Chains A and B, each alone.
Chain A
Amino acid sequence: MGAPIGRVVVIEDEQPVRDAILAALRAERFTATGFEDLPRPADALALAPDLAILDVLLPSGNGFALARLLRERQELSIIFLTARDAVADRVAGLELGADDYLVKPFALEELMARVRAVLRRRGAIPRVLEVGRMLVDEEHGFAARAGRELALTSTELRLLAFLMRHRGQALSKDQLLTQVWGYDAYDHNLVEVHISALRRKLETNGPRLIHTVRGIGYRFSP
């Protein structure tokens, strides 16, 4: 899908968290690089990142100080991750001009939604999601196929956007449930009902877009 856009550095000392974030970023075709401790600012900036995802508490110092250093040299967006949810910490982070602030543990999809929002705001990624003749504008809740607007509910829009972002990948019902509906949803029927509604609205006068993958779930491909 064209050249990768959106360069992100992830500075997080917890390896499982860092790996999961990097994998999620790369799955959405962002260029992502991880650091397990405070990098030298020059090393982080050499990648010309659009966004730094920064853990506040790192082995050799705190992320706030690094954020200030990075900001002094280059205009970039910052999302802080922290295991402390003290109000003072949030304020400190936001005063530094952090674009967002996420308290651990967090849902990956929530982080990804904020990453996309931040990158869209700075124009590092397009404001709309476009695959084939399908177009989705998540910010304005607008979806169109071949230039004709579709009347989608907000859940349908989120589901469609998730499918489009992971185009070509087979997605299980569990995956869709947790990433689109969240962790309190357990009912596979929910997925089935919404998929069939989406299909009705999307595919009435066009080819199949949402394919059933036997034994797994669904795949979006134009």
Chain B
Amino acid sequence: MSGHRSARTRLIAASILGIVAALVAFGVIITVRYRDGLEQRLRTDLTSGASALRAVRTPAALKSVIASLAAEGISVDLAGITARGGTLQSTPGAALLTVRELIPVGGSDVPATLTGSRAGIDRQVRSLEVTEAIGGVIALTLLAALARALVLLDRAAVDARASEAAMRTFLADASHEFRTPAAALQATAERLLREQPPRPARDAIEAQLARDSRRLGHLIDDLLNLARLDARERPHRESVDLADLATAAVAATLTADPAACVELVTNGAVPTTGDPDALLRAVRNLLDNAFAIADTVVVEVTQTAKGPTMSVTDNGPGVPADQRERIFEPFVRLPRSSRAGTGLGLAIARRTLESHGGTITCDPSPTGGARFTLRLPADS
């Protein structure tokens, strides 16, 4: 999946770079052509200025032609007149084009030099460049936004694919989990029909039917619990004493199996907020889970710096390091673990804690068993 994402994102980045390079090249071409155009026009202006000067017959007309030429960035240097009139200045440097002409002034031909200044062209080109730069920035901003949108869209598509795949896996797992007790029920019921066994054997087979029906019932209950946890965003909230909750969970375990070896360690009330039924179910799931593989369980409730905490520690074989996160996924069981449970207990416990703003983690206990630690936010 991540390979998918980076490939798509790389493609988007490459396209954006391509567009930027094309824009820059386009800008350069526009600038060069613009400058060429301006120079061409100046050259035309100089030529037509020169013919205007040639046509001049009076000093007044000469002055007005020179003034209008100056307005177009063309200075005229009349070798003989500059000193007399004092109004004509040649523009120093930046000569673009020079046209020499002999013009009739006061009855005699005077050599004149027309000079078009590059300064005007430079100014106009610079202003074009500024416009291009502003346009470029705007285009880049738009492109960046577009790229971001594309990347986000891509990520959303990848996430959607991933969640679709997760849903498909979940459905395949769930159907497997349903088929197993259903197969047992059907096979056992058929056996009863086919064999018509006498009393003691019949009782054993009927007890098996009852067990498988219960198993199917538990599975349906747990799936519904999980679905409710997924559907509801905020749990019902009331003040809950974690110590009371642990006591109730241990009592329920002892009711189910009076011989269970479970130790409860509490030290006064540990208040938190949440749905007591949901939290009790989560803790009971942890206890059921522990007793499926261990024979001694210690439940400890403490108020730590991180808030209300409960730990459930067993003396079983422990959970391998690479499985300590996986076991919270639905229907994930450790190899060789009991098949009796629904495979949803830990998933339900984790979703319950998460919906309460808490956490649940699995660590090794100092003696090698498993320790599940629940942390909840303090009572607010």
Q: A14-B184, A17-B184, A20-B187 are in contact. Are A83 and B176 (CB under 8 A)?
A: yes
Does A23 lie within 8 Å of B172, measured CB to CB? Answer: no
> Beyond A16-B212, A20-B187, A84-B172, is A108–B194 a contact (Cβ under 8 Å)?
yes
- Given A20-B188, A24-B191, A179-B194, verify A105-B339 contact (CB < 8 Å): no
Contacts of A59 in B (CB 8 A): 335-336, 339
Whether A20 pairs with B180 at a CB distance below 8 angstroms is no
CA distance in complex: A165, B212 (Å): 29
Binary flags per residue of A2-19, CB closer than 8 Å to B gives 1, else 0: 000000000001101101
Which parts of A111-137 form the interface with B (CB within 8 Å)?
A: none
Say whether B179 contacts A104, CB under 8 Å: yes
Question: Given A27-B194, A174-B193 in contact, is the A106-B339 Cβ separation under 8 Å?
Answer: no
Digitize B245-262: 1 where CB-to-A-CB distance is under 8 Å, 0 elsewhere.
Answer: 000000000000000000
Are A108 and B183 touching (Cβ within 8 A)?
Answer: no
Q: What A residues does B193 contact at CB under 8 A?
A: 172, 174-175, 178-179
User: B195: CB under 8 A from chain A?
Assistant: yes
* B172 engages A27 (CB within 8 Å): no
Contact of A17 among B175, B187, B335 (CB under 8 A): B187
Q: Type the 1/0 row for B189-210, where 1 means its CB is closer than 8 Å to any CB of A.
A: 0110111100000000000100
What does DSSP make chain B's interface, helix, strand, loop or mixed?
helix
Tally chain A residues at the interface, Cβ within 8 Å: 31
Among the interface residues A85, A104, A106, A179, which one has the most CB atoms of the partner chain B within 10 A?
A: A104
* Chain A residues in 8 Å Cβ range of B191: 19-20, 23-24, 108
Query: What CA separation (Å) do A97 and B191 show in the bound complex?
Result: 29
A107 CB within 8 Å of chain B:
yes
| Interface residues in B129-172 (C-beta closer than 8 Å to A) | 172
B195 contact from A27, A57, A109, A216, Cβ within 8 A? A27
**Given contacts A19-B191, A105-B183, is CB(A84)–CB(B176) below 8 Å?**
yes
Complex Cα distance, B192 from A174, in Å, reads: 11
Q: Does A193 contact B (CB under 8 A)?
A: no
Q: How many residues of B contact A (CB 8 A)?
A: 24
B206 to chain A, nearest CB (A): 11
Residue B229 is within 8 A (CB to CB) of chain A in the complex = no
Residues of B within 8 A of A109 (CB): 190
How far does the alpha carbon of A59 sit from the alpha carbon of B203 in the complex, in Å? 28
Evaluate contact between B183 and A13: CB separation under 8 angstroms: no
Complex Cα–Cα for A60 and B187 (A) = 23
Does B183 lie within 8 Å of A170, measured CB to CB?
Answer: no
Are the C-beta atoms of A104 and B182 separated by less than 8 Å?
A: yes
A86: interface (CB < 8 Å) = yes
- A105 and B190 alpha carbons, distance in the complex (Å): 12
B367 within 8 A of A: no
Residues on B with beta carbons closer than 8 Å to the beta carbon of A104: 179-180, 182-183
Closest CB of chain B to A90's CB: distance in Å?
13
Report if B82 contacts A (CB, 8 A). no
A14 near B180: Cβ-Cβ < 8 Å: yes
Instruction: Give B355 Cβ to nearest chain A Cβ, in Å.
Output: 31
Contact A105 B186 (CB under 8 A): yes
CA–CA, A107 and B335, complex, Å: 29
Interface presence of A21 (CB below 8 A): yes
Q: Which 9 A-B pairs have the closest CB atoms?
A: A104-B183, A20-B187, A105-B183, A83-B179, A16-B184, A20-B191, A105-B186, A105-B182, A83-B176
Q: A14-B180, A19-B191, A24-B190 are in contact. List 11 more A-B contacts (CB 8 A).
A: A14-B184, A16-B184, A57-B176, A83-B176, A84-B176, A105-B179, A107-B190, A172-B196, A175-B193, A178-B190, A178-B193
Residues on B lying within 8 angstroms of A by beta carbon are 172, 175-177, 179-180, 182-188, 190-191, 193-196, 208, 212, 335-336, 339
12 pairs from A and B in contact (CB 8 Å cutoff): A16-B187, A19-B191, A24-B190, A24-B191, A59-B335, A59-B339, A60-B335, A60-B336, A83-B179, A83-B180, A107-B186, A175-B194
